[in-house]
Amino acid sequence: MTTREEYELLCSDGVRREIDRRIECDPLEIALDKHLPHAALVATQVKYLQRARRKLPEWYRARCIVPALAYEQSSSCDCAAHKSLDGETALDLTCGLGVDSYHLSKRFARVTAVERDPVLADVARENFRRLGAGNIEVVCASDEEFVARTTEHYDWCYADPDRRGPHGEKLVRLEECSPDIVALMPALRERAERICIKASPLFDIDEAFRLFGRCRVEAVSLGDECKEVLIYIDGGEPAVTATALGRGSYTVRRDASPEPSTPELFRRDDYRLLLIPDVALQKTRLARRYLDGRADIWSDNGCGFAVEKAETPLCRQYEILSTEHYDPRRLRRELKGRRIEIVKRDFPMPTQRLTAALGVREGGDERVVFTSVKGEFLVIRLK
């Protein structure tokens, strides 16, 4: 965490000029420059601003202060901009670096952002100033303290609980995170009309309905990686949504009709196309519903198989070169020493163990899919 002294230096004109002047330089070379005052601090900021260029482009352009831990725990601008919240007033209970607060400020007249760490609260205030976000008030307090004392009513409350334990371990259960949003929920309901909670990408969507009853749950992916699980407690119909940013969304009501039936036959010789569902469909267990009538699929964690192309923006489609039974000895004789891109869907062996068994390295242009259908392990080579 940035210290008070580091924060004041990062706000000084001299350090800010050096960061801007060296923004394209190698951070290691900066750190080793014995003639540069506060070289390590300048190097660290350049390092994280360079990383922020894609994840937080507005932070990069404004040369914001980017503490390392706050950066690692923050939402990306793409994910923050996606959240479908709007109104007059918003409460962000977990400000941190302030990415979500900043994007909320574009859709709300006024945002209150709560941050318990005094230095990080000052970092957020300074960054909002650099970003030109004048409608955000940063309050330094614990979430429990703020909720207990405030008398204001908000259109939306947003919370992204800290998912790091006392020893740095990753937490998934909301009751273990800070704040304990489940325990805080009765008080929050008195202060906000609607509530949005960001949970771990590993969070089980069924747990949301157990904890909160009537809610909507959305898994959000970017680049086929699950980034967020969002829980909306807003009075809407219970539903589950899979969203792949830049590609589309698919929503199913919680009380929808039974899942589609499983195809009886695996027509290996007939299938020309392999469909790999986006991870958001996997996370929400909606792959089979999504592909119903468009492709044959036997598991929400598996692949789809089709005779001809279909409109499926939430799936990657590939032409099948061959489909064969998984035989590690034969595959090792054929592939040993080669670089291949390994894609696994509903295949029980970890990637590291699979590469060791086959004697291959990850990478290269050759893509091989390992999956299973009706209990049979398959290897599918793609054109």
Tens digits of residue pLDDT in 324-369: 999 999 999 999 999 999 999 999 999 999 999 999 999 888 999 9
Geometric angle at alpha carbon 330, from 325 and 335, rounded to 5°: 105
pLDDT of residue 282: 96
pLDDT of residue 35: 94
pLDDT above 60 for 86: yes
Q: pLDDT tens for residues 98-152? A: 999 999 999 999 999 999 999 999 999 999 999 999 999 999 999 999 999 999 9
Cα separations (Å) of 21 from 61, 263, 267? 13, 62, 62
pLDDT of residue 164: 84
pLDDT of residue 347: 96
pTM score of the predicted model:
0.92
Structural domain boundaries in the chain:
4-55, 71-253, 273-382
pLDDT above 80 for 2: no
pLDDT of residue 261: 85
Whether residue 174 contacts residue 182, with contact meaning beta carbons closer than 8 Å, is answered with: yes
- CATH code linked to domain 71-253: 3.40.50.150
Whether residue 170 contacts residue 177, with contact meaning beta carbons closer than 8 Å, is answered with: no
Q: Could you give the percent of the chain with pLDDT greater than 90? A: 90
Whether residue 383 contacts residue 320, with contact meaning beta carbons closer than 8 Å, is answered with: yes
Give the separation between CA 259 and CA 278, rounded to whole angstroms.
Answer: 19
How many CB atoms within 10 Å of residue 63?
17
pLDDT of residue 234: 94
pLDDT of residue 111: 98
Residue 372's pLDDT band, with cuts at 50, 70 and 90, is very high
pLDDT of residue 36: 96
Task: Report strand pairing: 192-199 vs 225-233.
Answer: antiparallel
Whether residue 241 contacts residue 250, with contact meaning beta carbons closer than 8 Å, is answered with: yes
Pair of tokens at residue 158: 């947003």
Residue 1's pLDDT band, with cuts at 50, 70 and 90, is low
pLDDT above 60 for 3: yes
Choose among 356, 354, 280: nearest CA to 368: 354
Q: pLDDT tens for residues 242-270? A: 999 999 999 999 988 888 888 999 999 99
DSSP secondary structure letter of residue 260: P
pLDDT of residue 16: 96
The rounded mean pLDDT for the chain is 94
**What would the mean pLDDT of 14-39 be, rounded to a whole number?**
96
Give the separation between CA 66 and CA 60, rounded to whole angstroms.
Answer: 9
pLDDT above 90 for 220: yes
Burial of 312 (0-12, 13-18, 19+ CB in 10 A): buried
Q: Which residue has the higher pLDDT, 50 or 168?
A: 50
